[in-house]
């Protein structure tokens, strides 16, 4: 009877690994239920935080094609499955871990690439996707303005040069 339940749990976890942009493994030993609830809220709407069984999660990760996390499945483990912006959720985990040292970030995976705990913290230090896109748009607008100024400068410089040449020719013609 336990076998079908475990198979269903493995299939569900494997689907979550496949459908997520990122997954972060944490150790939650010593956190209360209230603290875990606060952590779930701090991750945002695009993340799901689940306490998991190591053996079943390891099997599910391998079924999803992720074998780089095998060494991290020891001790009490919970996984944050992130379907939206991984930076936002990484910031939520980092900030919660600062206030609650019992939460330990073990590592994770982002778009199929394994991440160490330090790399997840660096990811959390990045600005959000929206901020980066707005900075990119601002830089592109600035370059367009520079190009427009350059294109306007060429005809006006030509006109000034032609006028200076005309004045010089008149002066030379008047001197004869």
pTM across the whole model: 0.66
Tens digit of each residue's pLDDT (9 = 90 or more) over 57-104: 888 888 888 888 878 888 888 898 988 888 888 888 888 888 888 888
CA distance 13 to 50: 10
What number of residues does the chain have? 176
Fold assignment, 3-126: Alpha-Beta Plaits (3.30.70)
Tens digit of each residue's pLDDT (9 = 90 or more) over 21-50: 888 988 888 888 888 888 888 887 888 888
CA distance 41 to 92: 9
pLDDT given at position 176: 53
Geometric angle at alpha carbon 68, from 121 and 25, rounded to 5°: 45
Tens digit of each residue's pLDDT (9 = 90 or more) over 120-164: 888 877 776 777 788 888 888 777 777 777 777 778 888 888 888
CA distance 82 to 50: 11
Give the mean pLDDT of 102-119. 86
DSSP lists the bridge partners of residue 139 as none
Tell me: pLDDT of 1 over 50.
Answer: no
pLDDT given at position 97: 87
Chain position carrying tokens 């069984």: 53
Chain position carrying tokens 């010593």: 30
């Amino acid at each position: 009877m336990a076998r079908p339940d475990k198979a269903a749990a493995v299939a569900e976890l494997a689907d979550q690994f496949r459908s997520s942009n990122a997954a972060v493994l944490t150790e939650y030993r010593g956190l209360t239920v209230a603290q875990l609830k606060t952590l779930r809220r701090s991750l945002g709407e695009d993340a799901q935080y689940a306490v998991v069984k190591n053996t079943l999660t390891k099997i599910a990760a391998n079924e999803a094609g992720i074998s780089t996390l095998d060494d991290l499945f020891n001790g009490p483990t919970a996984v944050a499955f992130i379907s939206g912006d991984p930076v936002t959720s990484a910031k939520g985990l980092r900030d919660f871990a600062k206030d609650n040292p019992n939460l330990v970030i073990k590592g994770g995976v982002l778009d199929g690439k394994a991440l160490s705990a330090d790399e997840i913290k660096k990811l959390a230090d990045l600005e959000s996707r929206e901020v980066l896109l707005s900075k990119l748009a601002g830089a592109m607008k600035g370059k367009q303005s520079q190009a427009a100024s350059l294109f306007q400068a060429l005809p006006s410089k030509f006109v000034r040069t032609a006028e200076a040449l005309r004045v010089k020719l008149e002066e030379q013609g008047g001197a004869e």
